[in-house]
Structure 1
Amino acid sequence: MRIIVVFLCQFLWLSSATAQTKQDFNGLWWTEDRSGIIELIVSEQGIEGITRWGEKPDTDRHNPDPQLRSRSLKDITFLWGFSYDAKNNRWFDGQVYDPKNGKTYSAKLELDASGNTLEMRGYIGISLFGRTATFTRVQAQKLPADLKTTSVAN
């Protein structure tokens, strides 16, 4: 009986130690190749992702709308429309815009247990047919100098 009680206490402690909320998605994230930083913002309306910094300034040259092809990629919203699954602490049924090809895909977002790694799965139709991008949380001391001076980093 004592073993069951000890096991149950450990299980409850571990469960609470890794419990996450949708607010844990907030923050700045490095792209996979660390050439850019995105910001995830959780609000009452959902979650959105905004590009905040890029190693090389670039334009949205592949956008299907010719009038948007000259806009900067900085500060554009590229993730939107997600629903939150509190039981599994993930966002699903959203959209992701890929500026590398100008296409928009279905997407879902999930955090690892540490809360420092984010996986975004972009797909067409079902998630089986897609690609996963991994983002790493930006530590304050590792912010690029030109991003430290903006209000985003504060």
Structure 2
Amino acid sequence: MKRIQLFLFSLLFLSFFAGLSADPLPVTGVWRTYSDDGKEESTVEIYEQGGKIYGKVTGLVDPNDKDGKPARCTACEGAEKDKPVLGLVIIKGLQADGDKWSGGRILDPNDGVWYKCLLKAVEGGKKLEVRGYVGFSLIGRSQYWVKK
């Protein structure tokens, strides 16, 4: 009886720690992004470079501003200031962290602000949880992107 209990305890113990060290599901590929009201806004290609994850805007539902010119990141500062949104790298430097990718940042081209970011593939890799936050990940918001 003690052997069975020891075996079950060992199995439970190992399965717990195996889950902690699990590699995250791949997040690379092309993803559709959606506004808060559920309308498709853009496509973002997420790729790996030098062991880190990056993402750039590869398509826009509304590629032009109100004047009919290509949309630009007018609210951005620094290197991104006034660059076209199409082709803009908006996710930078995420690294594998358990079952997610974190340690990088994401740019919101609408307000020009860089936020800390974490990505996690969900629903077997069909959706991507994208969380932007300031300070702690509890203080932020998530969006769900759909794999194209």
TM-score by length of 2: 0.72
- How do 1:45-84 and structure 2 match up within 5 A? 45-57=51-63, 58-65=71-78, 68-69=81-82, 71-84=83-96
User: In the alignment, what sits opposite 1:120?
Assistant: 130
Choose between structure 1 and 2 for higher RCO, CA contacts under 8 A separated by at least 6 residues: 2
User: In the alignment, what sits opposite 1:29?
Assistant: 31
Contact 2:44 2:56 in 1 (8 A): yes
Residue 65 of structure 1 deviates from its aligned partner by: 3.8
Residue 131 of structure 1 deviates from its aligned partner by: 0.8
- Consecutive unaligned residues of structure 1, counting only runs of 5 or more, are 2-7, 13-18, 139-154
Larger Rg: 2
The structure in which a higher percent of residues are helix is 1
User: Considering only aligned residues, what root-mean-square deviation do their CA atoms show, in Å?
Assistant: 2.6
Please give the alpha-carbon distance, in whole angstroms, between the structure 2 residues aligned to 1:99 and 1:112.
Answer: 25
Percent identity over the alignment is 24
Contact 1:37 1:53 in 2 (8 A): yes
Residue 130 of structure 1 deviates from its aligned partner by: 0.4
Contact 2:24 2:96 in 1 (8 A): no
Paired residue total: 122
User: In the alignment, what sits opposite 1:142?
Assistant: none
User: In the alignment, what sits opposite 1:136?
Assistant: 146
Please give the alpha-carbon distance, in whole angstroms, between the structure 2 residues aligned to 1:60 and 1:112.
Answer: 30
- Consecutive unaligned residues of structure 2, counting only runs of 5 or more, are 5-10, 16-21, 64-70
Residue 20 of structure 1 deviates from its aligned partner by: 6.7
Alignment CA distance shift 1:20-1:54 (3 Å): same
TM-score by length of 1: 0.69
